[in-house]
């Protein structure tokens, strides 16, 4: 009876998260379509700006994963003081660290308005650190409506700010502020709703020192994750600029639009997957196989559709951009599916508290991608090769880690 109750609760949680993910994904997709339509000449700059911000966001999401793993319901709320101290400290450290990094590299990445972009990234990174910490606590408490509410509210506010910027004819700087501000708005709104619950019910199974060390390891792994997902436009524009702005713009547009349906939902489910794999460690292999089969089956269908109708759709929807061959679009879709597989194997490794292996998988994958992008051959070919090779190598590392993990009862 208890098992059936737990199963119903799990299914209910999945419905909440999937619904919120669908809404947030649709909003994000709409933004990615609207900008190249209404501001095609600024798209490459916008995509690079978005990529830089969400590379930071993806890194900081490691905080959410670690708090999710450590958080438990506790009627005494004994974990709240530790969580609050860690959350504030993390937000400050992340904002200062990101500001320092982009103060150094900003003149090369954002030469037109370096100071503004340093401030934008500081706000985005500090704000998302708060979002990640609160989301992790809510995942651990099983507060699924609140988790879903944060996901949706953040996306809705961002849609409104970016729409306003586009209507005002804003450039990349104003669009950057439009991306960053909603993080702070979302966390403030959800805290008003859920703050008392977190204060009185949150427990943590680690002390602040261990929580910080684990979070650093997960954040470093998330850096590699970000390089393969949200940071790809930034990397491609930085290390394959010899492809030319016209080809770069259409490749980045295709990568962005085809990856969203596969990778974004799996990224949103990272906390759920960590909890699921952690609580069913004796069945982890079969769970991984089921998830991977589901993803790859979807990839086959989407790759065929991309090859058949993708070139025509791009030409009709984005006439200002150059065309792409059908084979390129199919390969880009396949690369998205392979990255999605890493979004399944990664949480399986993390759930077993094997942070070094988790980090190694993403780091090796990102390094392979970066090295291939820097090789001295045709830019077009090396971009596609890097997209495919990186996630295959990373998934292999994660699978090795899962196979080597000790099993219960042994």
Q: How far apart are CA 327 and CA 268, in angstroms?
A: 29
How high is the mean pLDDT of the chain?
Answer: 85
Residue with tokens 């991306």: 179
pLDDT at position 10 is: 56
Is 265's pLDDT higher than 90? no
pLDDT at position 258 is: 86
Burial grade of 30 (CB within 10 A; 0-12, 13-18, 19 or more)? middle
pLDDT at position 207 is: 82
Q: How far apart are CA 93 and CA 275, in angstroms?
A: 27
Question: CA distances (Å), 67 to each of 13, 114, 206, 350, in order?
Answer: 18, 33, 10, 12
Closest CA to 139 of 38, 274, 318: 274
Q: How far apart are CA 292 and CA 298, in angstroms?
A: 10
pLDDT at position 252 is: 94
Is 408's pLDDT higher than 60? no
Residue 92 CB neighbour total at 10 angstroms:
12
Q: How far apart are CA 172 and CA 162, in angstroms?
A: 11
Q: What is the pLDDT of residues 76-128, one digit of tens each?
A: 888 888 888 989 999 999 999 999 988 888 887 777 788 898 899 899 999 99
Could you write out the three-class secondary structure of the chain?
A: CHHHHHHHHHHHHHHHHHHHHHHHHHHHHHHHHHHHHHCHHHHHHHHHHHHHHHHHHHHHHHHHHHHHHHEEECCCCCCHHHHHHHHHHHHHHHHHHHHHHHHHHHHHHCCCCHHHHHHHHHHHHHHHHHHHHHHHHHHHHCCHHHHHHHHHHHHHHHHHHHHHHHHCCCCHHHHHHHHHHHHHHHHHHHHHHHHHHHHHHEEECCCHHHHHHHHHHHHHHHHHHHHHCCCHHHHHHHHCHHHCHHHHHHHHHHHHHHHHHHHHHHHHCHHHHHHHHHHCHHHHHHHHHHHHHHHHHHHHHHHHHHHHHHHHHHHHHCCCCCCCCHHHHHHHHHHHHHHHHHHHHHHHHHHCCCHHHHHHHHHHHHHHHHHHHHCCCCHHHHHHHHHHHHHHHHHHHHHHHHHHCCCCCC
pLDDT at position 9 is: 52
pLDDT at position 18 is: 76
Give the N- to C-terminal CA distance of the chain in Å, as an integer: 28
For residues 224 and 299, the model is more confident at 299
Q: What is the pLDDT of residues 382-403, one digit of tens each?
A: 999 999 999 999 999 999 988 8
For residues 321 and 271, the model is more confident at 321
Is 1's pLDDT higher than 70? no
For residues 308 and 106, the model is more confident at 308
Parallel, antiparallel, or unpaired for β 202-204 and 71-73?
A: antiparallel
Q: What is the pLDDT of residues 269-292, one digit of tens each?
A: 777 888 788 777 677 888 888 888
Q: How far apart are CA 183 and CA 204, in angstroms?
A: 25
**Share above pLDDT 90 across residues of the chain, in percent, rounded to a whole number:** 31
Closest CA to 197 of 154, 137, 136: 137
Contacts of 196 by beta carbon, 8 Å cutoff, 6+ apart: none
* 185-193 average pLDDT score: 87
Give Dmax (Cα) for the chain.
64
Q: What is the pLDDT of residues 122-158, one digit of tens each?
A: 999 999 999 999 988 888 888 888 888 888 888 999 9
pLDDT at position 7 is: 54
pLDDT at position 134 is: 92
Cβ burial 162-173 (10 Å sphere, 16+ → b, else e): beebbeeebbbb
Q: How far apart are CA 333 and CA 344, in angstroms?
A: 17
- Kindly indicate the confidence band of residue 410, based on its pLDDT and cuts at 50, 70 and 90: very low
Q: How far apart are CA 141 and CA 130, in angstroms?
A: 17
* 333-349 average pLDDT score: 90
pLDDT at position 409 is: 45
Q: How far apart are CA 306 and CA 300, in angstroms?
A: 10
* 50-65 average pLDDT score: 84
């Amino acid at each position: 009876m208890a098992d059936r109750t737990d199963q119903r609760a799990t299914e209910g949680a999945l419905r909440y998260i999937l619904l919120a993910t669908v809404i947030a994904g649709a909003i994000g997709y709409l933004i990615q379509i609207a900008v190249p339509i209404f501001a095609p000449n600024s798209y490459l700059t916008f995509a690079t700006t978005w990529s830089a911000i969400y590379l930071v966001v993806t890194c900081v999401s490691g905080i959410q994963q670690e708090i999710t793993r450590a958080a438990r319901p506790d009627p005494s709320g004994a974990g709240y003081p530790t969580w609050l101290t860690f959350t504030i400290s993390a937000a400050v450290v992340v904002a200062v660290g990101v500001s320092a990094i982009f103060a150094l590299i900003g003149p090369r990445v954002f030469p037109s308005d370096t100071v503004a972009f340093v401030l934008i990234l500081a706000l985005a990174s500090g704000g998302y650190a708060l979002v990640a910490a609160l989301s992790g606590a809510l995942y651990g408490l099983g507060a699924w409506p609140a988790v879903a509410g944060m996901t949706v509210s953040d996306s809705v506010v961002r849609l409104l700010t970016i729409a306003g910027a586009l209507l005002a004819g804003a450039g990349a700087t104003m669009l950057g502020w439009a991306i960053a501000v909603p993080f702070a708005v979302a966390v403030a709104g959800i805290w008003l709703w859920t703050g008392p619950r977190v204060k009185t019910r949150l427990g943590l199974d680690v002390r602040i020192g261990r929580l910080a060390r684990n979070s650093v390891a997960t954040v470093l792994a998330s850096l590699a994750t970000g390089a393969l997902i949200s940071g790809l436009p930034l990397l491609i524009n930085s290390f394959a600029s010899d492809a030319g702005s016209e080809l770069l713009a259409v490749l980045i547009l295709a990568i962005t639009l085809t990856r969203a349906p596969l990778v974004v939902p799996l990224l949103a489910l990272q906390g759920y997957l960590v909890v699921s794999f952690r609580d069913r460690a004796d069945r982890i292999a079969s769970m991984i196989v089921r998830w991977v089969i589901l993803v790859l089956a979807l990839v086959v269908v989407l790759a065929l559709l991309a090859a058949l109708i993708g070139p025509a759709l791009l030409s009709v929807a984005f006439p200002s951009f150059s065309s792409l061959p059908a084979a390129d679009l199919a390969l880009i879709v396949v690369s998205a599916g392979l990255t999605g597989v890493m979004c399944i194997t990664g949480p399986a490794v993390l759930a077993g508290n094997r942070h070094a292996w988790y980090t190694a998988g993403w780091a090796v994958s990102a390094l392979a991608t970066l090295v291939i992008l820097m090789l001295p051959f045709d830019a077009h070919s090396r971009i596609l090769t890097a997209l495919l090779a990186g996630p295959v190598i990373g998934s292999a590392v994660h699978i090795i880690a899962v196979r080597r993990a000790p099993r219960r009862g042994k």
